[in-house]
Amino acid sequence: MANDASTSPGETRGADFIRQIVNDDRSSGRWQGQVVTRFPPEPNGYLHLGHAYASLLSYGIARENAGRFNLRFDDTNPSREEQEYVDAIRADLRWLGLDWEGREFYASDYFEQLYAWAEALVRAGKAFVCGLTAEELRSYRGTLTEPGRNSPDRDRSPDENLALLRGMRAGDHAPGSLTLRARIDMAAPNLNLRDPVMYRILDATHHRTGDAWHIYPSYDWAHGQSDAIEGVTHSLCSLEFEDHRPLYDWFVEALGIHHPRQIEFARFNLSHAVMSKRKVRRLVDEGHVSGWDDPRMLTLAGMRRRGYTPEAIAAFCADVGVSKRDKVIELARLEHFQRQHLNAIASRRMAVLDPLRVVITNWPSGQVDHLPAVNNPEAPEAGSREVPFTGELWIERDDFMEDPPRKFFRLAPGREVRLRYAFFITCDEVVKDADGRVVELRCRYDPATRGGDAPDGRKVKATLHWVSAAEALRAEVRLYDRLFVSEQPEEGGADFLDGLNPDSLELRPNAWLEPALADARPGDPIQFERLGYFAVDPESRPEALRFNRVVGLRDGWSRGKGQPD
RNA sequence: UGGGGGUUAGUCUAACGGUUAGGACAGCGGACUUUGAAUCCGCCGGUCUGGGUUCGAAUCCCAGACCCCCAGCCA
């Protein structure tokens, strides 16, 4: 997690531009050196990798500066927000490792205060009730190049406005019939300043306040004031709110309340993926994925299910850095950090995904040997386990070729290879079925090579993973790959769904696992040797084991295969 | 053709007028290897363009190009 020592107060070199600002503010004594940040998700969907980045950034900056970090649900639009999402967001953030120390707030906590402030602005002549319809409002707003026009209601008296506003609150007016607008400048080049809407009348039940309110604050009216109430010092948000900062500042100034500093950063896109809420929702709604937690999704729920670890996500987010330029991060980068973390902690196990039978012809009938196998070569303290070896085994079908090309050095007729942790075997005979398909290999083992070394010093070119047939556990293994073949599915005119990867999920329903995998639980970091990192799916049951591939091992063999040599 | 941002290798990022423009990821090559993994070593490759200031410019100035965001009673 972020514990960047290079960002102590006054120190700016090496720090990103936001941390430099925070450091400068601390050393200049602004806000008495306090640092308070917040993460303000709207509970209208599931969190994804981009939210992880944003939340970790605000959380990290608070921690590095011995400050506070608040979680605040931005629940100002009851028509699309639900408790289900609040619960999911909370769970995701906890899983990520964020600790808001009980400071879990809601914009709706502040509805009463916001309303009182609205009346104050009305009294001060800085807000008015407007009777323009939505369509009229749009036309009065002007365009990017032409100024807007004042609302006919703009100069209504404060008393009348107050009466109307109270009526709005009381439910005396139909949804859409009136709005409360800030009285700023209809000729402002920044459209956000053209008398923006503060309150709209909504006929909806709020997930927390129920039917207590008929009016709901807009984002602009709620956000800065919520920050102010919480004493937020540095309010971090993404670039599209840069245009809103003058309005953010205008409101807190007009109210004369605590004035947080809004700082905007660029979010990122991941290659071969979509991040926008709208598109992610469409994947779910149209059934292109199994749900919000489909392991192919970059939702935190999906990534958790897939087997991604919060540590890897945090390392990835820290590495992406903070800037204001558009960025598309290569998926390989995420995978790198995931491999790096799992390599250090994953238990090595053997699993055969696409099995080919091997009979050891000279193995003493009925005998079972138990061979010690290292759990994690990167962590000797993880110890070892024993794997059973018998005369009938499964190996990976890919690990045998009847007529191998030059650089294939796994098993082939007449060739000797090592079975990991076990013995050298030599392939004597290939058994085929009526269709010519290889169904069994008959091999001879060398008893002197027990453990995997030949006393005579002879070498083999390959080491294969294997599982003893009698003791093996059957499982379904799911191989996940990028959801999109196109690098940037969101770009270009074509429908982003055209870029869907038809092979993003490959089932291996007949996999065989070594017995030690019987008690693996969801969340346990596991490497299937030579294949990749895998995780137990939450829906896995003892009688129907199910594993998900998090990410494959780097594979120099298959990478080089397509290249001319 | 209004306003607000942005532009350093394929990707992300560092540089704070003085570095042979650094690092990571990707790619390529090699060493090692009981995971074709990991590890180690090496290579490839960059300052948007054009002027100017300066002994010296990615950095400062001028002009231009290109990209992103904004016309919800969404956030």
Over pLDDT 70: what percentage of chain A? 96
Sequence-ordered alpha helix ranges (H) in A79-151? 83-96, 111-123, 134-140
> Is the Cβ–Cβ distance between A472 and A515 less than 8 Å?
yes
Residue carrying structure tokens 């012809």:
A361
CA closest to C1' of B28 belongs to A560
State the catalytic residue, choosing from A149, A154, A208, A277: A277
How much is the pLDDT for A563?
Answer: 38
| Distance CA A219 to C1' B75 in A | 6
* A277 has catalytic annotation: yes
Question: Residue A73 to residues A169, A266, A278, A315: CA-CA distances in angstroms?
Answer: 22, 21, 19, 25
| Distance CA A322 to C1' B62 in A | 30
- Residues A15, A18, A20, A21, Cα dihedral to 10°: -170
- Residue A337: both structure tokens together: 């950090």
For chain A, what is the mean pLDDT?
95
* A26 has catalytic annotation: no
| Bigger pLDDT: A14 vs A565 | A14
**Minimum-distance nucleotide, CA of A197 to C1':** B73
| Distance CA A263 to C1' B17 in A | 28
Render pLDDT for A241-268 as a digit per residue (tens, 0 to 9). Answer: 999 999 999 999 999 999 999 999 999 9
Render pLDDT for A416-458 as a digit per residue (tens, 0 to 9). Answer: 999 999 999 999 999 999 999 999 999 999 999 999 999 999 9
What is the average per-residue pLDDT within A515-534?
Answer: 97
**Minimum-distance nucleotide, CA of A556 to C1':** B36
What is the average per-residue pLDDT within A547-556?
Answer: 96
How much is the pLDDT for A2?
Answer: 35
Sign of the CA dihedral with A160 first, then A163, A165, and A171 last: negative
What is the average per-residue pLDDT within A16-20?
Answer: 97
A3 band by pLDDT with thresholds 50, 70 and 90: very low
**Minimum-distance nucleotide, CA of A141 to C1':** B71
What is the average per-residue pLDDT within A56-68?
Answer: 98
DSSP count for chain A of H helices, then E strands: 13, 27
* Residues whose CB is less than 8 angstroms from the CB of residue A467 and which lie 6 or more positions away in sequence, other chains included: A350, A351, A352, A355, A393, A394, A512, A513, A514
- Residue A202: both structure tokens together: 């909504």
Strand pairing report for A261-265 and A234-238: parallel
This prediction has a pTM of 0.96
* A407 has catalytic annotation: no
- Strand B, nucleotides < 7 Å from a protein CB: these are 1-8, 10-16, 24-29, 34-39, 67-75
How much is the pLDDT for A562?
Answer: 41
Over pLDDT 90: what percentage of chain A? 92
**Minimum-distance nucleotide, CA of A131 to C1':** B73
How much is the pLDDT for A11?
Answer: 61
Main-chain dihedrals φ then ψ at residue A546, nearest 5 degrees: -140, 125
State the catalytic residue, choosing from A194, A267, A306, A478: A267
